[in-house]
């Protein structure tokens, strides 16, 4: 017979000696893709708007420098009358393409054509109309639930809010921006998604009173606030929502996050699709100095 205990002993020793390994590996660089950030803007009640297309590329995620901007692209926007508006790269900001000849109009369709690195990219949007901000005002509030923008334990101060009237019958999608002394507020964090993006599912056709684009932004007298109300298409709304949910501070994850694909296509090689979004938006702006 086999000497059983000895066999067992040997096996136990073997068991301890085998251990799990976690090793570092090296991956090939991923495919480099064009990143498009384009917005055709028109201020409500004005012909003006800031038109710019920002181009960059994706970068190997091992690198610590910010992804390179794209400098030698040909960028043209066409409207549905066949007019073309060439965008030229800004002398001061690399990768930012601008024009001052385009005065956008609502319900017009704009097509973006980019020629870059031997490939042609195209994206199309229709500029939607946004309802005006009926009024902007302030209200004193205190909040015992959360920390405010100043890191107070129980913050108190003035909250800026707006009234507006949603057009009845149509599906409307909104984005709000709030600027404090010229600085954008509201962190692009998934928790702030509903502050920034909303559809009119629950207020279709109604007058919305006291909408607070940021209910934790407590203001002091003398501070200047700009609230921008922006019309989005459903596609843009979906894109921004997804982008928001991807904007969380990331930790270790095993299942990687989602690919967020926008509305710009690569015509030459559809598989080598670009990232980013080309949007056209009418913007209603209102301005308030806290008193």
Partner 1 sequence: MKKNRKIRIHRIYLHLALKKSLYFSFFSLLFYKASTIAAVPAEKNDIKGYVIDKESGEALPYANVILSGTYRGTATNTDGYFVLSAPAELCSLTVHFIGYAKHQVVIDNSKKPPKLVQSYTVTEIESKTEWNKKDIIKRKAPAEFRDDFLYISMQSAAIQGEEVTVTAEKYEMWKSSEEVAQVTFSPRQISALPSIGEPDIFRSLQLLPGISGVSDGSAGLYVRGGTPDQNLVLLDGMTVYHVDHFFGFFSAFNADAIKDVQVYKGGYPAKYGGRLSSVVELTGKTGDSNQKRLGVGLNLMSANVLGEVPLLNGMGSWIISARRSYSDLIGSPMYNKLFDFLSDTEPETPQGFGGPGGRGVQQEEVRPDFYFYDLNSKLSLLPTSRDILALSFYSGRDNMHDLQEMGNLRFGGGETTGTRGRDETTDWGNTGISLKWSHRWHDRFNSNFLLARSSYFSDHVTNLSFSTTTEDTSDVLRGRGNFASQENNAIDDFSLRFDNDWQINNSYQLEFGIGAKNIETDYIATVSDTFNVFESQGASHQLSFHLQSKLNFFERLDISAGIRSVYYDRSASYYTEPRLSLQFTVTDRLKAKAAAGRFTQFIHRIVNEDVLEGSRDFWLVADENLEPGRAGHLIVGLEYDTPGYLFSIEGYNKNMENLLEFSRRFQDRADFGGLFFFGSGVSRGVEFLAQKKYDAFNGWISYTLGDIEHKFPNLNNGEPFPASHERTHETKAVGTYSWGRWNFAATWVFASGQPYTAPEGQYNLDLLGDNTRSYYHVSDKNANHLPDYHRMDISASYKMAVKNEHGFDGELGLSIFNLYNHNNVWYRKYDLEVSPIVITDVSMLGITPTLYVKVKF
Of 60-99, which residues contact partner 1 (CB under 8 A)? 60-64, 66-67
- In this structure, the strands spanning 264-266 and 207-211 are unpaired
Cβ distance to partner 1 smaller for residue 61 or 147: 61
Q: Kindly state the smallest distance separating residue 67's Cβ from partner 1, in Å.
A: 5
Q: What is the DSSP string of 235-247?
A: HHHHHHHHHHHT-
Provide CB contacts within 8 A for 55, sequence distance 6+: 34, 35, 36, 37, 69, 70, 73, 75, 95, 97, 114, 116
Q: Kindly state the smallest distance separating residue 239's Cβ from partner 1, in Å.
A: 9
Q: How far apart are the first and last CA of the chain?
A: 96
Instruction: State which of residues 3, 5, 6, 15 lies at the interface with partner 1 (CB under 8 A).
Output: 15
Cβ distance to partner 1 smaller for residue 136 or 193: 193
Q: Which stretch binds partner 1 (CB under 8 A): 82-90, 108-116, 179-187, 200-208?
A: 179-187
Contact 57, 32 (CB under 8 A): yes
Cβ distance to partner 1 smaller for residue 19 or 91: 19
259 binds partner 1 (CB under 8 A): yes
Provide CB contacts within 8 A for 94, sequence distance 6+: 69, 71
Q: Kindly state the smallest distance separating residue 282's Cβ from partner 1, in Å.
A: 16
Cβ distance to partner 1 smaller for residue 5 or 82: 5
Of 19-48, which residues contact partner 1 (CB under 8 A)? 19-25, 27, 29-33, 35, 37, 39
Cβ distance to partner 1 smaller for residue 165 or 193: 193
What is the Cα–Cα distance from 71 to 93, expressed in whole angstroms? 10
191 binds partner 1 (CB under 8 A): no
Cβ distance to partner 1 smaller for residue 39 or 42: 39
If you ran DSSP here, which 8-state letter would residue 128 be given?
B
What is the Cα–Cα distance from 99 to 230, expressed in whole angstroms? 21
What is the Cα–Cα distance from 278 to 113, expressed in whole angstroms? 11
- Measured at the CA of 249, the angle between CA 234 and CA 276, to 5 degrees, comes to 35
Cβ distance to partner 1 smaller for residue 60 or 206: 60
Q: What are phi and psi of 177, to 5 degrees?
A: -125, 145
Of 199-258, which residues contact partner 1 (CB under 8 A)? 238, 240-247, 250-258
Q: Kindly state the smallest distance separating residue 175's Cβ from partner 1, in Å.
A: 8
- Alpha-carbon dihedral angle through residues 263, 75, 43, 246, given to the nearest 10 degrees: 40
Cβ distance to partner 1 smaller for residue 59 or 165: 59
Q: Kindly state the smallest distance separating residue 268's Cβ from partner 1, in Å.
A: 18
What is the Cα–Cα distance from 234 to 93, expressed in whole angstroms? 31
Binding footprint of partner 1 on the chain (CB under 8 A):
1-2, 4, 7-8, 11-12, 14-16, 18-25, 27, 29-33, 35, 37, 39, 54, 56-64, 66-67, 177, 184-188, 196, 238, 240-247, 250-261, 275-277
């Amino acid at each position: 017979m086999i000497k059983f205990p000895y066999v067992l002993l040997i096996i136990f020793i073997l068991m301890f000696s085998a251990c799990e390994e976690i090793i570092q590996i090296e991956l090939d660089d991923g495919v480099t893709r064009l990143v498009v950030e384009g917005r055709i803007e028109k201020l409500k009640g004005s012909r003006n708007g800031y038109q710019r297309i920002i181009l960059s590329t994706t970068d190997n995620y091992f690198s610590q420098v910010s992804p390179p901007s794209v400098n030698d692209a040909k960028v043209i926007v066409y409207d549905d009358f066949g007019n073309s508006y060439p965008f030229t790269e800004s002398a001061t900001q690399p990768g930012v393409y601008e024009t001052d000849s385009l005065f956008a109009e609502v319900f017009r369709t704009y097509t973006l054509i980019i020629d870059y690195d031997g490939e042609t990219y195209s994206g199309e949007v229709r500029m939607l109309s946004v309802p005006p901000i009926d009024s902007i005002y302030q209200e004193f509030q205190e909040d015992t639930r959360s920390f405010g923008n100043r890191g107070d334990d129980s913050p108190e101060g003035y909250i800026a809010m707006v009234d507006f009237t949603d057009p009845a019958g149509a599906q409307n999608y909104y984005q709000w921006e709030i600027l404090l002394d010229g600085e954008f507020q509201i962190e692009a964090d998934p928790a702030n998604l509903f502050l920034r993006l909303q559809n009119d599912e629950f207020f279709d056709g109604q007058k919305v009173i006291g909408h607070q684009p940021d209910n934790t932004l407590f203001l002091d007298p003398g501070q200047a606030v700009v609230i921008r109300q922006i019309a989005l298409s459903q596609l843009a709304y979906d894109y921004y929502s997804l982008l928001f949910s991807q904007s969380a501070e990331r930790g270790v994850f095993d299942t990687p996050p989602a690919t967020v694909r926008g509305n710009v296509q690569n015509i030459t090689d559809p598989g080598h699709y670009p990232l980013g979004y080309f949007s056209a938006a009418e913007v209603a702006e209102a301005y308030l100095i806290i008193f």
